[in-house]
């Protein structure tokens, strides 16, 4: 039993070390130790073990650590096995090509959303999202869709503090409730400069065979390309139509959605 407990603790420490790299930066041993709450010698030993397994690697010049090829292989398997990714990938890619805008598909894990697909269009070439990246739920259109199945009480418990990212971020739960009520009525959610200035998106939920919201699809890009502030009902209809087609591919046989009103 003591051996099992020690093994579990070692696995937990190794996982904490790996989570230090979630920001996407190469790190020194001291950086990893600080993030993981470990002594520098312990962090160094764990990194050496992870390096031998190719879960991390060192950059040739700086000798800083970064995530290694073994994790790329595991991540690729995880993504390709995900039913939403398999069903949504082609539709999202075609949509990005036809509109020239960014198209994203995301799922919720806990209090964050994680991107399964990200495709860039010619009008939005610089993407602020990457496959596997996480983002807040309350400050994105795609995240608002993922919050729709929850009650106001459940949302407050899940995300008690609504962090501000820009002056337009919704940081009050009553305001978030109102925004989600509107999204549920319309069949789509919007976000205008709530996560990053100069950018916006429109999103719609993706449903599974039982009619549960399991993911969401968004069209995103610079304000000049989307023009959400001026109203674009065709864009809302498009994102709903494609999200519905993905839902059907996942086995959903319920009624299709249609925008209840314009922006």
What integer pLDDT is reported at residue 175 of this predicted model? 97
Say if residue 44 is in the same domain as residue 148: no
For residue 255, is it within any domain? no
Query: What CATH code is carried by the domain that includes residue 20?
Result: 1.10.10.10
Say if residue 86 is in the same domain as residue 63: no
Instruction: Give the pairing of strands 189-192 and 134-136.
Output: unpaired
What integer pLDDT is reported at residue 148 of this predicted model? 97
Say if residue 35 is in the same domain as residue 110: no
Query: What CATH code is carried by the domain that includes residue 185?
Result: 3.30.450.40
Backbone angles phi, psi at 154, to 5 degrees: -65, -35
Task: Answer for the pair 74, 55: CB distance below 8 angstroms, yes or no.
Answer: no
* Least confident residue range of 23-32, 75-84, 204-213: 75-84
The structure tokens listed for 160 are 């008690």
Say if residue 21 is in the same domain as residue 100: no
The whole-angstrom separation of Cα 107 and Cα 105 is 7
Radius of gyration of the chain, Cα coordinates, nearest whole angstrom: 20
Q: Is the confidence at residue 262, as pLDDT, over 50?
A: no
The whole-angstrom separation of Cα 262 and Cα 232 is 7
**pTM of the predicted protein model:** 0.80
Say if residue 191 is in the same domain as residue 88: yes
What mean pLDDT is predicted for residues 170-182? Answer: 97
For residue 174, is it within any domain? yes
Say if residue 49 is in the same domain as residue 122: no
The whole-angstrom separation of Cα 127 and Cα 124 is 7
**Angle between helix 2-19 and 40-52 (nearest 10):** 90
pLDDT tens track for 245-259: 999 999 998 776 655
For residue 259, is it within any domain? no
For residue 262, is it within any domain? no
The whole-angstrom separation of Cα 115 and Cα 74 is 16
Backbone angles phi, psi at 115, to 5 degrees: -85, 130
The residues pairing with 102 across neighbouring beta strands, listed in sequence order, are 220
What integer pLDDT is reported at residue 250 of this predicted model? 93
Average predicted confidence (pLDDT) for the chain: 87
Q: Is 98 exposed, middle or buried (0-12, 13-18, 19+ CB in 10 A)?
A: exposed
Q: Quickly tell me which residue has 């065979």 as its tokens.
A: 209
Task: Answer for the pair 14, 37: CB distance below 8 angstroms, yes or no.
Answer: no
The whole-angstrom separation of Cα 157 and Cα 172 is 14
Say if residue 124 is in the same domain as residue 210: yes
Q: Report the domain count for the chain.
A: 2
Q: Which domain covers residue 52, as residue numbers?
A: 2-70
Question: Of the candidates 127, 15, 25, 128, which has an alpha carbon nearest to the alpha carbon of residue 74?
Answer: 15
What integer pLDDT is reported at residue 134 of this predicted model? 86
What integer pLDDT is reported at residue 263 of this predicted model? 41
Contacts of 70 (CB under 8 A, 6+ apart): 53, 54, 55
């Amino acid at each position: 039993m003591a051996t099992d407990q020690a093994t579990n603790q070692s696995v937990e420490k190794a996982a904490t070390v790996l989570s230090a790299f979630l920001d996407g930066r190469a790190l020194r041993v001291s950086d990893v130790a600080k993030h993981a709450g470990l002594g520098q010698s312990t962090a160094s030993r764990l990194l050496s073990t992870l390096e031998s397994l190719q879960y991390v690697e060192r950059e040739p010049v700086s000798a800083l650590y970064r995530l290694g090829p073994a994790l790329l292989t595991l991540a690729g398997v995880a993504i390709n096995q995900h039913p939403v990714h398999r069903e949504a990938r082609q539709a999202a890619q075609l949509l990005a090509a036809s509109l020239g805008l960014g198209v994203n598909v995301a799922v919720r894990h806990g209090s964050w959303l994680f991107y399964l697909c990200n495709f860039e269009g010619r009008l939005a070439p610089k993407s602020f999202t990457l496959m596997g990246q996480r983002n807040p739920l309350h400050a994105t259109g795609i995240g608002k869709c993922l919050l729709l199945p929850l009650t106001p009480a459940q949302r407050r418990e899940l995300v008690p503090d609504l962090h501000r990212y820009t002056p337009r971020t919704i940081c009050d739960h009553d305001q978030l409730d109102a925004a989600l009520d509107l999204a549920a009525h319309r069949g789509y959610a919007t976000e205008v400069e709530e996560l990053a200035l100069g950018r916006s998106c429109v999103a719609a939920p993706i449903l599974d065979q039982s009619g549960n919201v399991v993911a969401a699809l968004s069209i995103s890009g610079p304000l000049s390309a989307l023009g959400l502030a001026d109203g674009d009902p065709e864009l809302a209809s498009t994102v709903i139509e494609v999200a519905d087609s993905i839902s059907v591919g996942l086995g959903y046989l319920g009624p299709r959605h249609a925008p209840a009103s314009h922006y």
